Amino acid sequence: MTHQQTSQLTPGGDGGIKRARLARHGVLSVSGADARAFLHAQLTNDVEHLGTDAARLAGWCSAKGRLLANFAVVPRTDGFLLVAARDLAAAIAKRLTMFVLRSKVKIADESDGWTATGVWGAGARARLAALGLAPGEAPLAVAAAGGRIAVRVDADRFLLLAAAGEATALEARIGGQEALEDDWSLLEIRSGRVLITQATQDQFVPQMVALDAIGGVDFKKGCYPGQEVVARTQYRGQLKRRIVRARVPAGLEVRPGQDLYSDDAAGEASGTVVNVAPAAGGSEFLAVAPIAAVEEHKPIRTAPGGAQIEVLALPYSQ
């Protein structure tokens, strides 16, 4: 998408409601008597004690501790929905199923059956409340009604899940200004929340993308795939790369999976772009970059000897 195609909305903007259809997000369903125990054993976060009134962020790792996907884990009456990158949904559903064995669990890619919509702005919660979908004040609070689910992402921002056939009518009832998915993606980038896609799958341990900083890793829970690597990274201080938020000017394209370069590395790739969205005057993005180069304010470039990225603040400490 070109920079001219984005409306570049800001959180809350004029105080009205904005909404955007999130076509790059897919939905997996995990159901059955053993669904909770199964997810608890597979994901980086505690699902065993997850109530019905809250969602939870989590990752799914390879045996080497690299993220194969990251999710919003959303409880429902018959199990859970996992909201992830749509380009990974089918493959993740198939691969997760390999670990079911004798457990009473059914996993399915239901991306075609569900629609994800981002809703934000100062009036968003009141409008959702009028539809019976008013999550509580706690982070990732959940409200459900009539098969529709709303998840509080932050103060005035919500993820709405609805059956695909009902989404258009529901969005019409919400009203407000129709925005672009890139507008939602920009808010996610400014919140420091990554979305692992095909371009970045199996590249990062959770701490590299700050999944721990946003509550997506429980270091006290039991084992899960890659848990030893994740724990060793946490407690032995082995992390050398970490997420940064950055900006490049208009005319300079960056894309997910693109290599970044530090002057310290003599032309060798030392970083990776994760998510990108158009912003006023250029693009903003999240990238994994060398911690030492960032802390010492050394140049990080889009190519060896090329343009330097501008590193911006993140809302959480690292």
Q: Which of 14-23, 128-137, 150-159 has the lowest mean pLDDT?
A: 14-23
156 and 260 in a single domain? The answer is no
Determine the pLDDT at residue 261: 96
Q: In this structure, is residue 175 part of a structural domain?
A: yes
- Read off the pLDDT of each residue in 302-312 and give the average, rounded to a whole number: 95
In this structure, what CATH number is given to the domain that contains residue 131?
Answer: 3.30.1360.120
Check whether 14 has a pLDDT greater than 90: no
186 and 245 in a single domain? The answer is no
Chosen domain end from 191, 210, 230: 191
Residues 239-275 pLDDT 10s: 999 999 999 999 999 999 999 999 887 778 999 999 9
Q: In this structure, is residue 199 part of a structural domain?
A: no
CB 213 within 8 A of CB 317: yes
CB 94 within 8 A of CB 204: no
**Rounded CA gap, 97 and 75, in Å?**
19
36 and 152 in a single domain? The answer is yes
Check whether 8 has a pLDDT greater than 70: no
Determine the pLDDT at residue 3: 37
Report the number of distinct structural domains present in the chain. Answer: 2
- Read off the pLDDT of each residue in 130-157 and give the average, rounded to a whole number: 95
Q: In this structure, is residue 208 part of a structural domain?
A: no
Determine the pLDDT at residue 238: 79
Determine the pLDDT at residue 5: 44
Residues 33-77 pLDDT 10s: 999 999 999 999 999 999 999 999 999 999 999 999 999 999 999
187 and 246 in a single domain? The answer is no
In this structure, what CATH number is given to the domain that contains residue 290?
Answer: 2.40.30
25 and 155 in a single domain? The answer is yes
CA angle 298, 288, 218 (to 5 degrees): 130
Determine the pLDDT at residue 10: 42
Check whether 9 has a pLDDT greater than 70: no
CB 118 within 8 A of CB 157: yes
Determine the pLDDT at residue 6: 44
37 and 161 in a single domain? The answer is yes
Q: Which residue has the tokens 């050398």?
A: 240
- Read off the pLDDT of each residue in 288-314 and give the average, rounded to a whole number: 95
Q: In this structure, is residue 113 part of a structural domain?
A: yes
Percent of the chain residues topping a pLDDT of 70: 95
16 and 121 in a single domain? The answer is yes
Chosen domain end from 191, 218, 249: 191
50 and 139 in a single domain? The answer is yes
What band does 318 get if pLDDT is binned at 50, 70 and 90? low
71 and 159 in a single domain? The answer is yes
| Structural domain span for residue 296 | 240-318
Check whether 7 has a pLDDT greater than 80: no
253 and 160 in a single domain? The answer is no
Q: In this structure, is residue 24 part of a structural domain?
A: yes
Residues 69-104 pLDDT 10s: 999 999 999 999 999 999 999 999 999 999 999 999
Determine the pLDDT at residue 114: 98
164 and 295 in a single domain? The answer is no
Strand partners, 301: 261, 308
- E-strand ranges in 23-146 read 25-31, 56-61, 67-76, 79-85, 106-109, 114-120, 142-145
